């Protein structure tokens, strides 16, 4: 049986400590004074807000930015983003409740769009009652359920049909359509589904949702993808009698790691401005990771440092039960060491100028966060800090495996 581990970081070195903002370092050192081993996320909501402002300012007026709350649902981060995004993309009752709290419905319309391949009746009912701007419907049965709920509530629910396109003729790091998936309606089935959808009494079919991009760092190809979504939606709506008002192109803007070129927001905005949606149509983008990744850090105390058959291991109070991203996404997610000078237990294990593997507290070798990274020095009692942990960090972790305490969350 193969063990899932993140790729080797060799020949990389850990980030220098000064890559961590001074305010973050102070906050983390304050946490160490509590007397319990630190394992926590710290967020700076202003960083996410600035990222949202940058993207929103680059886009044309017909574009709207909705934060995909699955990336980070910490209330402090969501509140910081609320004034700088047009709404939220939600996928659960918990996310919907938070979105409604930070952006109450206006004129009976909640500034939310809803996703999820298997929405339950309670979720759909809550979305209809909230007046969701669009429920991204994933199947014909879901359309019937939404209609039944809406009729019982005495309203018409706004829905966008999620589509799994047969092919997207765009190069770059896009994930292409046309493969079997639980997401959306396969493109060949779209006309038949639309014929029935527009006849259902509880529905207002407003447009389409296409999400076929992931982790794209190429602004040119992402703009071409946006153009394709707009043109496809306009053509399909005209062919099937849909009054098109809404096109949701999903998220997919990537976050650059070491050695990668960041996504060029200005270039993307310039190219997006050359696209001309039909009059009265809003085009939604649903960035999640792009807005939140660099607003958060995961920090864990080094419980022990030890050598085994010539290899050094840094043992953390935490691991994939708190920060599963590096292992699950098969990426090198680098870290910094924050020295902590207090030590009261006699011998203090340490390693200097060596390659180390950073592991957690779980009883499985898969609890590995970073392999073969060179450190100047790391000691028991120091903190290991992972930047770019503001998205799919706490939300994506295995909180209950072995029953260790869940990582704390703090806002700067």
| Cβ within 8 Å of residue 4, ≥6 positions away | 327, 328, 330, 366
Report yes or no: 300 and 61 within 8 Å, Cβ to Cβ: no
Q: Read off the DSSP letter of residue 241.
A: T
Positive or negative, the CA dihedral 206, 53, 219, 99 is negative
Please report the sign of the dihedral spanned by the C-alpha atoms of residue 317, residue 320, residue 326, residue 330: positive
Q: Nearest Cα to 95, choosing from 70, 120, 76, 117?
A: 70
Query: Catalytic site residues?
Result: 363
Give me the torsion for CA of 219, 88, 240, 153, rounded to 10°.
180
Taking the CB of residue 39, how many other CB atoms lie within 10 A of it?
Answer: 26
Q: Helices marked H in 199-286 — which ranges?
A: 219-240, 265-272
In 251-276, which positions are buried (b, 16+ CB within 10 angstroms) versus exposed (e)?
bbbbbeeeeeeebbbeebbebbeebe
- Phi, then psi, of 8 in degrees rounded to 5: -65, 140
Report phi then psi at 72, rounded to 5. -160, 110
């Amino acid at each position: 049986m193969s063990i899932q581990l993140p790729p080797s970081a060799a020949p990389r070195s850990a980030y220098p400590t000064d890559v961590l903002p001074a305010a973050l370092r102070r906050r983390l050192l304050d946490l160490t004074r509590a007397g319990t081993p630190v394992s926590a996320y710290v967020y700076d909501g202003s960083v996410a807000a600035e990222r949202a402002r940058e993207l929103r300012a680059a886009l044309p007026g017909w574009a709207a930015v909705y934060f995909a709350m699955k990336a980070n649902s910490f209330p402090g981060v969501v509140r910081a983003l609320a004034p700088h995004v047009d709404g939220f993309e939600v996928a659960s009752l918990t996310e919907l409740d938070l979105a409604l709290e930070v952006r109450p419905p206006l004129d009976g319309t909640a500034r939310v769009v809803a996703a999820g391949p298997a929405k339950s009746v309670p979720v759909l009912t809550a979305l209809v009652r909230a007046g969701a701007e669009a429920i991204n419907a994933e199947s014909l049965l879901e359309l019937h359920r939404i209609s039944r709920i809406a009729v019982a509530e005495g309203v018409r629910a706004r829905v966008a049909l999620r589509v799994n396109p047969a092919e997207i003729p765009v190069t770059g790091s896009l994930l292409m359509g046309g493969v079997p998936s639980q997401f959306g309606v396969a493109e060949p089935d779209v006309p038949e589904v639309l014929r029935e959808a527009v006849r259902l009494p509880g529905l207002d079919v407003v447009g389409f949702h296409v999400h076929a991009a992931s982790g794209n760092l190429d602004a040119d190809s992402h703009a071409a993808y946006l153009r394709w979504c707009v043109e496809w939606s306009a053509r399909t709506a005209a062919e099937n009698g849909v009054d098109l008002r809404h096109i949701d192109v999903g998220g997919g803007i990537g976050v650059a790691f070491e050695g990668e070129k960041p996504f060029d927001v200005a270039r993307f905005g310039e190219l997006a401005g050359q696209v001309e949606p039909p009059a009265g149509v809003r085009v939604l983008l649903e960035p999640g990771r792009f807005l939140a990744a660099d607003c958060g850090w995961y920090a864990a105390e080094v419980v022990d440092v030890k050598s085994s058959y010539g290899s050094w291991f840094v043992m953390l109070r935490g691991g994939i039960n708190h920060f599963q991203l590096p292992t699950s996404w098969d990426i090198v997610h680098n870290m910094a060491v924050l020295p902590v000078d207090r030590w009261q237990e006699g011998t203090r294990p340490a390693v200097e100028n060596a390659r180390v593997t950073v592991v957690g507290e779980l009883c499985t070798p898969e609890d590995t966060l970073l392999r073969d990274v060179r450190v100047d020095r790391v000691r028991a009692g120091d903190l290991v800090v992972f930047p770019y942990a503001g998205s799919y960090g706490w939300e994506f972790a295995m909180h209950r495996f072995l029953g260790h305490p869940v990582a704390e969350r703090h806002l700067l």
